[in-house]
Each structure stands twice: as C-alpha cells, then as structure tokens.
Amino acid sequence: MATAHFLAMTAYGDADSIEAERRTIRRGVQDLFGLTRRQARLIVLSAESETDRDGHESAAQVCSAFDTDQRMRIMGLVWDLAYADGLIPAFGRVLADRIGAMAGLHPDQAVAARSFANPPWI
C-alpha cells in the first residue's frame, strides 16, 4: 500500500492525465507485486484515500521496506507516470532529483531507474 500511495503522491498533477496515471499505477503495482488486476485496483483506490498528503510517511516506508534495486524499480514506475503525463522534457531532472531523493536514491540512480520504465509508445 505504501508503494501505491507513494506513486499516487507523485502523480495527478494534470487533470487531463489522471486516468492514464491511475492505470499506470495500477498496472505497475500489479506487475511489481504479482497481484491480480482487482487487487491492484483496490490497493490504488485505498492508497488515494490515505491522509499522508505530502507522501513523507509512504516515502519513509518505501525506503525502509525495499532495497536499492527494488526502489529503483519503483522509481521506474514514477518515470512511467511522467511519460503518461507528458512532462519528461521539462521536468525530467527535477523529477529524478526530488522524487528519487524521497525514495532514498542518489540522483544518478534515479536517472538510471528510467531504464525500468515502459513508455506507452514502446
């Protein structure tokens, strides 16, 4: 749940892409944790209703629960969210620095995590 909440807190910046981002989170959580579509959807819906609005609690849980490789895979999902929103060119480095730091990653690791992303045009 913390991972879904962490992802939800990094998303939903653009009203036009909320549904695409919600699908990206659901698919990412589903694939990452081997869940059914229904299980992942319920987790995402529950995560969206969490009270940790700034994401610090969920980020701390992600940092403590996962090793570096796993956190880089989660960061790959953040990149997927950025691709869904179309904000990569303008905000890619800011995303890597800010969200990567919340996930306990060095900026270079956060940028390298882009290799785990699956952009929709592939």
Kindly report, residue by residue over 53-89, the tens digit of the pLDDT.
666 788 899 999 999 999 999 999 888 888 776 666 5
Report the number of distinct structural domains present in the chain: 1
pTM of the entire structure?
0.82
Which residue has 């592939």 as its token pair? 122
- Residue 109 maps to a domain: yes
Domain presence at residue 121 = no
Query: What six digits make up the tokens of 121?
Result: 């045009």
Burial of 21 (0-12, 13-18, 19+ CB in 10 A): buried
Domain of residue 82 covers 2-116
Asked if the structure places residue 45 within a domain, the reply is: yes
pLDDT tens sequence across 82-122: 877 666 656 666 777 888 999 999 989 998 998 898 876 54
CA distance 70 to 59: 13
Measured CA to CA in angstroms, residue 89 lies from 22, 46, 63, 64, 99 at distances of 21, 31, 27, 31, 16
